[in-house]
Amino acid sequence: MDPAETDNLTSKYSSDISEFVRMNLHNHSTFSDGSFTPEFIIKKAIEYRLNYIAITDHYLTSKTRSMSDEVLENYITQMEELKEKYRNRIRVLSGVEIDASRRTDFHRMRYDLLNSMDIVLFEYVNDDVWGGMHLWELFDVFDRIEVPIGLAHSDINVNFRDIDYNALLQVLEDHGIFVELCPSQRNSKFGRPFYRFAVDFFRILSDTDVMVSIGTDAHTRPEEIGDIQDAVQFVEEFDLWMNLISLKI
């Protein structure tokens, strides 16, 4: 089956709404630790009939190969060129992924550059296993970012187990933070994506203004770029259509 095939999952929605789910807003390129160029990823996304594709390379972390400020400027320039080149075929978004831990040098962060992009993802927020910073430690950082902020591949059920979900959702809403549905096996347990262990959270989320994205955290396998079908199924199961970040960006 075509990894991006969603037609059979959206029958009760208008075609206009169902088009917004065809997204992959989390991909790594050769600018950081990915195997493919941004343009290769965009072309693959078009093959998989996606409507939104974001390149979100690592920035200022010692965890893996990541971009410096100088590289980030070149990255933004190239992404703007690619947006224009493919604007009639797919919506291309530029972004970065920030390691929310002491491995990231937050004092060097160029907020002017971050705010010139489309989205900023944060990984490992409240994740004790990966040494992630707690949500409240990042409020000052979040408040300096003017574009949509997302929690990347978060194991909500574990990372936020001690926080009331209603209170957590209020915080996310107040700071304009969206939640990523990442169907990748890289971000799963017992063969199931993290989000499927947090159904109580997403049942409540559907009644809030907190948005969700779909992103596969693609690095090395081309098929990861289009492998969104489980996340699409989840959107339908929990009626998250009106919470899709693609309705806002």
In a domain, 1, yes or no: no
In a domain, 5, yes or no: no
In a domain, 90, yes or no: yes
In a domain, 57, yes or no: yes
In a domain, 203, yes or no: yes
CB-based contact 122:144 (threshold 8 Å): no
pLDDT tens readout for residues 140-151: 999 999 999 999
- Residue 5 confidence (pLDDT): 55
Q: Which domain holds residue 37?
A: 15-247
- Residue 198 confidence (pLDDT): 98
How many domains does the chain contain in total? Answer: 1
C-alpha to C-alpha distance for 177 and 169, rounded to whole angstroms: 9
Query: What are the helix (H) ranges across 189-228?
Result: 199-205
Label residue 16 by pLDDT band (50, 70, 90). confident
- Residue 4 confidence (pLDDT): 57
DSSP secondary structure, 9-20, as one string:
G-TTS-HHHHGG
- Residue 2 confidence (pLDDT): 55
In a domain, 35, yes or no: yes
Taking the CA atoms of 26, 32, 37 and 38 in sequence, report the sign of the dihedral they define.
positive
In a domain, 3, yes or no: no
Kindly state the percentage of the chain with pLDDT values over 70.
Answer: 94
- Residue 17 confidence (pLDDT): 81
For residue 9, pLDDT over 90 is answered with no
For residue 15, pLDDT over 80 is answered with no
pLDDT tens readout for residues 169-222: 999 999 999 999 999 999 999 999 999 999 999 999 999 999 999 999 999 999
For residue 153, pLDDT over 50 is answered with yes
| CATH code where residue 20 lies | 3.20.20.140
For residue 8, pLDDT over 60 is answered with no
Across the chain, what does the average pLDDT equal? 94
In a domain, 36, yes or no: yes
Give which of 150, 160, 242, 171 is closest to 201, Cα–Cα: 160
Question: Rounded to whole angstroms, what are the CA distances from 44 to 89, 105, 223?
Answer: 12, 33, 8
pLDDT tens readout for residues 31-52: 999 999 999 999 999 999 999 9
